[in-house]
Structure 1
Amino acid sequence: MPLRIAKASVAAAVLAVALAGCTSSTSLISKRTQGYDIPDSALQQIRPGQSQQLVTLVLGSPQTTNTFGDRTAWYYVETEVNQTSFGMTMIQERTVLAIYFDRNKKVIERAVYALEDGKAINIETRRTPSFGEDATFIDTILSSF
């Protein structure tokens, strides 16, 4: 009988520990911002006709740039994520500030894009065919005999 009570108490302890890990506590999740922190006050300061120097003073240097024709675009990306203590990162919100300049390095326009404005791009996974066959390690050994 005491063995049966010991097994039951061990099973109850294991169940209690397992259920303790299933609580709805958010202490295992931390919220943080990756990339730029784009404050609303900085967005209000960027207007058409301003120079690239002023944009650099207000926002800093861009994360990435793009030149097409006589226009240049600067991109500032802010991503808010929840990260678990296990290293999983879940994107909650993404904001991309795009500032477009003319050939005289003056602001033409600015645009703010959200996560919903993005498009998923499928990466091509097909391989370019080569002449002959891909030989496995076993095929190579067997062909040597």
Structure 2
Amino acid sequence: MPLRTVSRSVAPFAAAAMLALLLAACTSSNSLISSRTQGYEISDSAQAQIRNGQSQDLVTLVLGSPQSTNTFGDQTAWYYVETKVRQTAFGMTMIDSRTVLAVYFDKNKKVSDKAVYTLQDGKTVAIETRRTPSFGEDRTFIDQILQSF
């Protein structure tokens, strides 16, 4: 008798597992993961068109406006970032590759150099979790009341 009781309580779970297995077999594995590009799509032909001595206007015409810029003294840099990601149906995102095209300009706004950086060129930065105490922020309400006496 105890064996029948156990098999009756397991039967609904076994049926649900079998149904889930059948439904998983019917769907394609690609439908659960989508690939996309974030940022710019930097083609090899566009990179080849950027040469030393070209103006900023021509670079804007070929690549578009930069995602980020910075200026160090007489030199200006424009950055174009392409990130290829895979995202699951459950919202988990995985980075496949990242390419950063840096175009450097001299003081005359002409291309002086260009560089391509990938994920292997990056460095992991450890985020410090400790906080610097500031005036009045680290005391609790009770500490403030006790300190006022």
Q: Which TM-score band applies after superposition, normalised by the shorter structure?
A: 0.7 to 0.9
1:15 aligns with 2:20: no
Q: Match of 1:32?
A: 36
Dislocated runs of 4+, deviation >4 Å: 1-6, 17-24, 130-133
CA RMSD of aligned residues (A): 2.8
Pairwise CA distance, 1:15:
2.2
The answer to which structure has the higher helix fraction is 2
Q: Match of 2:140?
A: 135
Q: Aligned AA for 2:40?
A: Y
Please state whether the residue corresponding to 2:84 is helix, strand or coil: strand
Question: Cα gap change, 1:134/1:14 in structure 2, threshold over 3 Å: closer, same or farther?
Answer: farther
1:44 to 43, 48, 65: 48
What is the alpha-carbon distance in structure 2 between the residues aligned to residue 64 and residue 97 of structure 1? 11
Pairwise CA distance, 1:120:
1.1
1:91 to 90, 95, 105: 95
Query: Structure 2: where are the runs of 5+ without partners?
Result: none
What is the alpha-carbon distance in structure 1 between the residues aligned to residue 70 and residue 11 of structure 2? 66
TM-score, normalised relative to structure 1: 0.82
What is the alpha-carbon distance in structure 2 between the residues aligned to residue 74 and residue 131 of structure 1? 40
Q: Match of 1:68?
A: 72
Q: Match of 2:61?
A: 57
Please state whether the residue corresponding to 1:30 is helix, strand or coil: strand
What is the alpha-carbon distance in structure 2 between the residues aligned to residue 53 and residue 98 of structure 1? 16
Q: Match of 1:114?
A: 118
Question: Cα gap change, 1:75/1:21 in structure 2, threshold over 3 Å: closer, same or farther?
Answer: farther
Please state whether the residue corresponding to 1:58 is helix, strand or coil: helix
State, as a whole percentage, how many aligned pairs show the same letter.
64
Question: Cα gap change, 1:134/1:107 in structure 2, threshold over 3 Å: closer, same or farther?
Answer: same
What is the alpha-carbon distance in structure 2 between the residues aligned to residue 42 and residue 66 of structure 1? 22
TM-score, normalised relative to structure 2: 0.80
